Structure 1
Amino acid sequence: MGQPRKEIPVQLRDLIIQDWKGESSVKLSMGKISEKFKIPKSTVQRTIQRYRETGGLQTKKRTGRKKILTPREEIKLVRKVQRNPFLSAPKLAAQIVQESGKTLHPSTVRKIINKNGLHGRIPRKKPYLSKVNRKKRLAFARKYVLKPPSFWSSILWSDETKVNIFGSDGHQKVWRRPKEALKNSNLRPTVKHGGGSVMVWGCFGAKGVGNLEFIEGNMTGVSYTGILNRNLFESGRKVGLGRRFTFQQDNDPKHTSKVAKEFFKINKVKVLDWCPQSPDLNPIEHLWDVTKREVGKTNVKNKSELKTRIREVWDNLDPEVIRNLVSSMPKRLEQVISANGGHTKY
């Protein structure tokens, strides 16, 4: 098969027609036009023939390459993705070969799927919600959605989290040029000893952050009540609530253990009846995210430096960010109701 012909510019086509018609000076033959513009005579002939047929200089619109899949087969492909959105393009291409004998490149599969409004994205991680948990979330949202701002401002929010020395547990990408894989700025540092992470408990209220305490070893119900005993009431005073607060915690077994319940009873602590599998409703989760991002900007080398940096970031969190997180509670609950107890964007 020969090389495909290259199209000549429209401006050149116009000059060819002008000379052929004699509009510029004298009428030239096809051979003379070929010599003048240093192009093949066949090109001049095709240009004049196209002008005679169409009366214009524009290239005739081509039909393009014939599609491999029929419209019906494309619909079938899209329906497969809708039933199982985790199917990869290579797997879909392999299935098409098995079913129809037609060979399709994965990039073609992606184009067909994209054309139908579906695009590959990294899935968000959310806790599994059973029917029972969805009902409990919905009941919680309906119970509290109309509570005034003063109610949410009276809550002391709490949770534990893990902070890594070298950032996320998951995969991270780096933008780099070829052959720059070992450039210092493109490396994710690791250490043989002294690496790892720390677990931390913290709390906050609408007017600011409470105490932090780092957790050594596995936390039990007993050690959890020890954390509360050392930090809960001091944090209440720190955020301007004194003892007039409602304490929020999730339903982790350590939080709901007998010894924890006894602590709350003895100390007359009012505990918010929290719904299961609902980190999206706890604003402290977003405060942890802010803290981790700021900590990640610092090159800490060991757990001692990490702890120091976490405290620095925690104690200097923006009060406006804190207020906005607490005031977002009604909207969070509205989204739960709209989702019939399902996940929210938070």
Structure 2
Amino acid sequence: MDDTLSLSADRLVKEEWTWARIFNTDAAGSWDSIIFSDEKKWNLDGPDGFQTYWWDIHRPLRQTKRRQAGSGSVVVWAGFSAAGKTKLAVLYVKQNSDDYVYTMSEYLLPFAHLHYDTDSVYQQDGASIHRSKRTMAFSEEQDVRMLP
């Protein structure tokens, strides 16, 4: 290998940066410390936004009135990480920032502190209540690190 040219300084910096990105041990880059969460809504009287839904083809179809009085729906929130899963939260259908802060304080933070102390990173979707001023202020106050 005596005939090989040495790498330029610029190329060395790029290779070191690439290596650091691949083998990042920082909590924000480590999958082991990221907590993911999402919520799901189900309508109790029929399809809930999917194109199709399953039913037993061996039973006769029932004739029922649909959404006459608004049979309601159920919204659940849950989180999970490499360490396990949070408790399942049953939520009110229409959430606002204060409701979401309550959900974070009662379900997310106990799980995060139990498994990660303060070294966790929280990944959430970009829903408006997740990015509201109230939620972001609460997250900053509680030192909750979030992925962008």
Structural mapping, 1:194-343, within 5 Å: 195-237=71-113, 240-273=115-148
Greater fraction helix: 1
Say if 1:233 and 1:242, in contact at 8 Å, map to a contact too: no
Structure 1 residues 45-99: Cα deviation after superposition (integer angstroms, max 9, x where no partner)? xxxxxxxxxxxxxxxxxxxxxxxxxxxxxxxxxxxxxxxxxxxxxxxxxxxxxxx
Larger Rg over CA atoms: 1
Q: Which residue of 2 aligns with 1:157?
A: 36
Displacement of 1:214: 1.6
* 1:196/1:147 CA distance change after superposition, 3 Å: farther
How many correspondences in the alignment? Answer: 121
Q: Secondary structure at the match of 2:111?
A: helix
Structural mapping, 1:15-30, within 5 Å: none
* 1:157/1:173 CA distance change after superposition, 3 Å: closer
CA–CA distance in structure 2, aligned partners of residues 189 and 159 of structure 1: 34
Displacement of 1:158: 1.0
Question: Does 1:171 find its partner at 2:46?
Answer: no
Displacement of 1:199: 0.9
Say if 1:154 and 1:205, in contact at 8 Å, map to a contact too: yes
Backbone CA RMSD of aligned residues: 3.2
Q: Secondary structure at the match of 1:211?
A: coil
Unpaired runs of at least 5, structure 2: 1-20
Amino acid at match of 1:247: Y
CA–CA distance in structure 2, aligned partners of residues 245 and 173 of structure 1: 38
Greater fraction strand: 2
- 2:61 counterpart (187, 207, 219): 187
Unpaired runs of at least 5, structure 1: 1-144, 177-182, 274-346
Q: Secondary structure at the match of 1:251?
A: coil
CA–CA distance in structure 1, aligned partners of residues 87 and 54 of structure 2: 34
Say if 2:73 and 2:93, in contact at 8 Å, map to a contact too: no
Q: TM-score, with normalisation over the residues of structure 2?
A: 0.65
Displacement of 1:195: 3.8
Q: Structure 1 vs Structure 2: percent identity of aligned residues?
A: 28
Displacement of 1:164: 3.6
Q: Which residue of 1 aligns with 2:7?
A: none
CA–CA distance in structure 2, aligned partners of residues 242 and 230 of structure 1: 15
Say if 1:166 and 1:189, in contact at 8 Å, map to a contact too: no
Structure 1 residues 282-308: Cα deviation after superposition (integer angstroms, max 9, x where no partner)? xxxxxxxxxxxxxxxxxxxxxxxxxxx
Q: TM-score, with normalisation over the residues of structure 1?
A: 0.30
